[in-house]
Chains A and B, each alone.
Chain A
């Protein structure tokens, strides 16, 4: 091996390139931008202003931060639903006026006064909501007009009640607590804000209303088609925003007792800047309360510091406007390009070298020499099936297979021409296995491990396993459960092909060449799953051996078949049974003469084998070449091999040119015939095995003859 190749091998073993794509794929990656900005702001002002992080400054900021937070939670809901609320500035002023009037001058009990003030804010929100949600008016214009109208009302109110307010004074301790009180040093407004933030976060991420808001903001039309009451949802977000602004204004009133004309002026721009800077998209549907918190904190720190640095208020607005522009630019560019960056970064090839390709020429005398034994096999369900990945028989000789439409199809014995949908699962059923009681077990791509009783009841057995300690992708969910087999004690061993790709992308995993898959054991006694063999190269077929102590499993991209002992004296050991296959092994099943069948779903090609040794070549290919043009393993020709427990190749069945069975993903022997399935095929093939036991069935071989 050349020195550079050795270097490549080590470099790809120890540098985890895949993490870049996995981190970029996380939803929380959006939050990274405000975090970076925040740390920039903190660093800048800490250097510029000694005592910036001092205690007294923080206490000042904390009180205002509490008020900001309360407002921005409401704004977040409005923006998440795709709207915008510019009225907050005047609503804030209006509610401040009302609070001073009701509580300071009229000395109404806080328990009545605060809800009343909030309702006043909510009323303005309701007007917004009705105009925007129900009448379909533009959010920007409507709230801009409302901003002016409400401001006019405030100015009028100040003229009428300015005298009254300035004379009022409420001496109640509750009012004083709202103004200057604190809990363990945390100002009262911040305590209340924390509670609201918590509730807001839970509602937005965990509850129906929050999901509706996100859905409406993400795609209004789809939300409507999904049955969400779009108009009501939009209306409610404005009401919520009004209510929360009212509450914030009450705290402000308690703190400052000021009714000047400039109260709340420019607040709408400040809040909008904070939200967008935090990463709440102006287009709706993207954002979180945490992002809003970060945005508000950044804005507050900048504002506060600029004032303390002695800048005039005009300069401060200039900086704020600049920040808003920057935030909008980042928002637009990021949302537009994120998926492109992700698409370029996610596929992460690694170094993998296969041994030299075995000879397959017809006259080569090789174990794998080409022949035409599968030419002209009988077809079952031709043109009626779509994607029978696996095939299996019950005791009554009925044939079962999966379909891409998410069904299990049953063909009736004896001639298998009549068929029905045996059960609908919803995902593409892949591997199939019967237990002794006649329950059909299946691995469903994208869904997990399922069981269908003879009464056609569909039961989910497992859709998760233990999360491994250091994985960035959430590998506790089953993404691509593939094939399974059942041990004599009822434990189910099943393979998950890859944890990095979804069902429809499984071939892309071939470009990585890494061990992204695993074998999982489901234990019916504890009804739970655990990963037993991690880091396999697309583990696929699984077959429990007759001794009941070991399984044979195929690693598709590794081109090998391995034995693993799950019981008995050699428990936990693995050994390679067949290495260096000329193709990519798929399902493994028992044969009538005590040996095993294995389907090769595709064949190796020298060019792809070479590409596997050059990870950077594949990386560049993914980045530069269109997806349909990528090099893949050759999946247009398949074959079937027969091997014994020692790994000797006994027979090979080819379908040259892939006329009838381009890609064979499974085989099942039943009463002297071999049945062939294919995940992209439109039929099940039926091949007469010369000299096979005409009475042998897989079902009896596993569970004994019927009583």
Chain B
């Protein structure tokens, strides 16, 4: 009764659950062009996930895993019959590969040839992220209990929460659920004290999960949809990629059940009012008023459904700095960012590029003195 009244009151006031406001990019998230202007390491179609194995930088792109050479070229490491949805490498050289055919394959090292197809008795439908914790433990994020990764747009628009995070012991095949009913966990990384950090994408936050404890939000109200999270082994900091920005119109459409139903039934997903990985390329996509071109130019601050954003987080999850590719840029839809040697590399799936970022550039900007 009370909650029904609260829902009505929120709908009237536009507060609480009915709020369509989005947090501003400010402070450490103040926009810049560092990601857009970063030097290109490798041009490759739709790079999805990155991993470092035995000093090699590996990237998954479509059905292949490729190794990136220092000169920017790539060599094929392994090819699969279906899409690769996530990869991870252990320090010992084992590669875990999440596949769209509901399996996770292990390549190299001791468990070479192992294929995981169920987690807690259910098939691994939607492997969005993998992470080794030592040689024996593999952390697995399942974005959804029913949908494959390719249907992420439908899942985000319906704001489903059927995802889960698992810890699998490779030696004996035992698995253990660390958290259930998450809204599309899209990244996992080891935290301090045996905890696991998960990016819960549709709820724009990072969670700390562990067996036997309730998930706890460690960073909330992100201005975008968080994707993969990697820990910088040298400094203990984290690198978080956000693959799309939050946008008032998307939040609004998510809360309009009738319109949403019709849109999903009648319109090609590529043309939905939904988060996107690439800047708008066709007039069939919806346009927001602020994105109207004036004098032949799209303004960088225009409302946008795609964006490129990498955030540096301290070991206690305070944002320290960020790299951006804004509305007028192309390096959007960054799924992964991790440290490789002395550099930082980011895979922009929407921009078909892997770029090299200067780690030291990610600092909180000093506000300029406007009237000095």
Contacts of A634 in B (CB 8 A): 283-287
Minimum distance in angstroms from B297 CB to a CB of chain A: 8
Q: 1/0 per position for A504-533, CB-CB distance to B under 8 A?
A: 000100000000000000000000000000
Task: Tell me which residues from 34 to 50 in chain B have a Cβ below 8 Å from any Cβ of chain A.
Answer: none
| CB-based contact A681/B295 at 8 Å | yes
Is A322 close to B, CB under 8 A?
A: no
B249 near A636 with CB under 8 A, answer no
- Bitwise, A655-684 to B at CB < 8 A (1) or not (0) is 001111111000000000000000011110
CA distance A631 to B290 in the complex (A): 9
Q: Tell me the complex Cα distance, A603–B281, Å.
A: 13
Across the interface, do A602 and B259 meet the contact criterion of CB distance under 8 Å?
no
**Beta-carbon contact of B259 and A631 below 8 Å:** no
Chain B residues with Cβ below 8 Å from A663 are: 292-293
Q: Is the CB of A625 within 8 A of B283?
A: no
Tell whether A608 is near chain B: CB-to-CB under 8 Å: yes
Known: A607-B263, A624-B14. A682 touches B296 (CB 8 A): yes
Bound Cα distance from A351 to B295, whole angstroms: 33
Determine if B287 and A635 form an interchain contact, defined as CB atoms under 8 angstroms apart.
yes
CB-CB < 8 A to A623: which residues of B?
14
Cβ of A637: which chain B residues have Cβ within 8 Å of it?
282-283
Task: Tell me the minimal C-beta distance from A217 to chain B in angstroms.
Answer: 31
Q: Which residues of B sit under 8 angstroms from A662, Cβ to Cβ? A: 293, 296
Q: How many residues of A contact B (CB 8 A)?
A: 43
A376 nearest CB across to chain B (Å): 14
Q: Which residues of B contact A631 (CB under 8 A)?
A: 249, 273, 286-288
Q: Which residue of A lies closest to B265 (CB)?
A: A610
B287: chain A residues within 8 A (beta carbon): 605, 608, 631-636
Cβ contacts under 8 Å, A602 to chain B: 283
Which residues of chain A are within 8 angstroms of B262 by Cβ–Cβ distance? 610, 614
**Across-interface contacts of B20 in A (CB, < 8 A):** 624-625
Q: Do A606 and B289 contact each other (CB < 8 Å), given the known contacts A617-B256, A625-B248, A636-B283? A: no
Could you tell me if A632 and B288 are in contact, using CB atoms closer than 8 angstroms?
yes
**Pairwise interchain contact A629-B286, C-beta atoms closer than 8 A:** no
Q: How far is the CB of A418 from chain B (nearest CB, A)?
A: 22
Closest to B302 in A: A628
Measured between C-beta atoms, what is the minimum distance from A612 to chain B in Å? 11
B253-295 residues with Cβ-Cβ distance < 8 A to A are 256, 258-259, 262-263, 266-268, 271-273, 280-295
Residue of B nearest to A623 (CB): B14
Chain A residues with CB below 8 A from B98, complex form: none
Q: How far is the CA of A628 from the CA of B294 in the complex (A)?
A: 14
Inter-chain contact B258/A617, CB cutoff 8 Å? yes
Q: Does A386 touch B at the CB level, under 8 Å?
A: yes
The answer to whether A605 touches B284 (Cβ under 8 A) is: yes
Looking at the assembled complex, report how far the CB atom of A134 sits from the nearest CB atom of chain B, in whole angstroms.
Answer: 34
Q: Assess whether A614 is in contact with B259, with CB atoms less than 8 Å apart.
A: yes
Say yes or no for A621: interface residue by CB 8 A criterion.
yes
Contact string against B for A residues 369-392, beta-carbon threshold 8 Å, 1 for contact and 0 otherwise: 000000000000000001000000
In the assembly, what is the distance between CA of A614 and CA of B260, in Å?
Answer: 11
A680 touches B248 (CB 8 A): no
Asked whether any CB of chain A lies closer than 8 Å to the CB of B252, the reply is: yes
- Interface flag for B214 (CB, 8 Å): no
Q: Kindly name the residue among A627, A662, A681 whose own CB sees the greatest number of chain B CB atoms within 10 A.
A: A662
Across-interface contacts of A657 in B (CB, < 8 A): 281
CA distance A604 to B271 in the complex (A): 11
Are the C-beta atoms of B271 and A606 separated by less than 8 Å? yes
How distant is the Cα of A4 from the Cα of B111 in the complex, in angstroms? Answer: 59
Question: Does chain B have a CB within 8 A of A559?
Answer: no
Closest to B18 in A: A624
> Contact: B292 with A632, CB < 8 Å?
yes
- Whether A606 contacts B259 in the complex (CB less than 8 A), given A626-B248, A631-B288, A634-B283, comes out as no
Q: Is the CB of B249 within 8 A of A625?
A: yes
Identity of the chain B residue whose Cβ is nearest the Cβ of A582 in the assembled complex: B283
Could you tell me the distance between the alpha carbons of A630 and B296 in the complex, rounded to whole angstroms? 21
A603-B283, A628-B289, A634-B285 known; A681+B296 contact, CB < 8 A? yes
* Interface residue from B14, B248, B280 paired with A629 (Cβ < 8 Å): B248
Please measure, in the bound complex, the distance between the C-alpha atom of A286 and the C-alpha atom of B280, giving whole angstroms: 47
CB-based contact B289/A621 at 8 Å? no
Q: Report A-chain residues with C-beta under 8 Å of the C-beta of B286.
A: 605, 607-608, 631, 634
Which chain A residues lie closer than 8 Å to B252 at the CB level? 620-621, 624-625
A634 to B292, CA, bound (A): 8
- A611, B248: Cβ atoms closer than 8 Å: no
Interface centre among A605, A614, A620, A633 (most CB of B within 10 A): A605
Q: Which residues of B contact A629 (CB under 8 A)?
A: 247-249, 288-290, 303
Distance in angstroms from A374 CB to nearest chain B CB is 13
- Per the bound structure, the CA–CA distance linking A266 and B303 in Å amounts to 58
Complex-state Cα separation, A617 to B267, whole angstroms: 17
Asked whether B298 is an interface residue with its Cβ less than 8 Å from the other chain, the reply is yes
- Interface centre among A583, A632, A658, by most chain B C-beta atoms within 10 angstroms, is A632
Bound-state CA distance A635–B293 (Å) is 8
Which A residues touch B291, using CB under 8 A? 636
The answer to whether B303 touches A680, judged by C-beta atoms less than 8 angstroms apart, is no
Please, which residues of chain B bring their CB within 8 A of the CB of A507? 289, 292
Q: Contacts A614-B259, A624-B252, A680-B294 hold; do A606 and B283 have CB atoms under 8 A apart?
A: no
Chain B's closest residue to A510 (CB) is B289
Distance in Å: Cβ of B118 to nearest Cβ of chain A: 39
Compute how far the CA of A283 lies from the CA of B295 in the bound complex, rounded to whole angstroms: 41
Tell me the smallest distance from the CB of A3 to a CB of chain B, in Å.
14
Question: Which of these, A606, A627, A661, A682, contacts B266 with CB under 8 Å?
Answer: A606
CA distance A631 to B272 in the complex (A): 12
Kindly state the separation between the CA atoms of A624 and B12 in the bound complex, as whole angstroms: 10
Give the Cβ gap from B313 to chain A, nearest Cβ, in Å. Answer: 28
Task: Tell me the complex Cα distance, A681–B293, Å.
Answer: 8
Pairwise interchain contact B271-A605, C-beta atoms closer than 8 A: yes
Given A610-B263, A630-B249, A680-B295, A605 and B289 contact (CB-CB distance below 8 Å): no
- Which residues of chain B are near A583, meaning CB under 8 Å? 283
Contact flags A594-620 to B (C-beta < 8 A → 1, else 0): 000000001111111011001001001
Chain B residues positioned under 8 Å from A386 (CB to CB): 295
In the complex the two chains form, is A610's CB within 8 Å of B292's CB? no
- Complex interface: chain A residues within 8 A of B248 (CB): 625-626, 629
Known: A602-B283, A603-B283, A631-B249. A614 touches B258 (CB 8 A): yes
Distance in Å: Cβ of B12 to nearest Cβ of chain A: 10
CA distance A206 to B272 in the complex (A): 54
B268, B280, B282: residue with the most chain A Cβ atoms closer than 10 Å? B282
Please measure, in the bound complex, the distance between the C-alpha atom of A26 and the C-alpha atom of B302, giving whole angstroms.
Answer: 33
| Distance between A553 CB and nearest chain B CB, rounded to angstroms | 24
Task: Name which residue of chain B comes closest to A356, CB basis.
Answer: B266
Known A-B contacts A606-B266, A617-B256; the reply to A627 vs B289 at CB < 8 A is yes
A608 to B273, CA, bound (A): 9
Bound CA span A663–B289, Å:
14
Complex formed: what's the CA distance from A637 to B291 in Å?
Answer: 12
Contacts of A360 in B (CB 8 A): 284
Complex interface: chain B residues within 8 A of A603 (CB) = 283-284
B13 → chain A closest CB, angstroms: 10
Nearest CB in chain B to that of A621: its residue: B252
- Chain A nearest CB from B28 CB (Å) reads 24
A628 (CB) vs chain B CBs: closest residue: B290
Across the A-B interface, the 9 shortest Cβ-Cβ residue pairs? A628-B290, A603-B283, A637-B283, A682-B295, A607-B286, A629-B248, A662-B293, A634-B287, A634-B283
A-B contacts besides A606-B267, A620-B256, A657-B281, 8 pairs, CB < 8 Å: A607-B273, A625-B252, A631-B286, A632-B287, A632-B288, A636-B291, A660-B296, A681-B296
Sample 24 A-B pairs with CB under 8 A, ordered by A number.
A602-B283, A603-B283, A606-B266, A606-B267, A606-B268, A607-B286, A610-B262, A610-B263, A614-B258, A621-B249, A624-B14, A625-B248, A625-B252, A628-B288, A629-B249, A629-B290, A630-B288, A631-B249, A631-B273, A631-B286, A634-B285, A636-B298, A659-B296, A663-B292
Spell out B's residues near A (CB within 8 Å). Answer: 14, 20, 247-249, 252, 256, 258-259, 262-263, 266-268, 271-273, 280-296, 298, 302-303
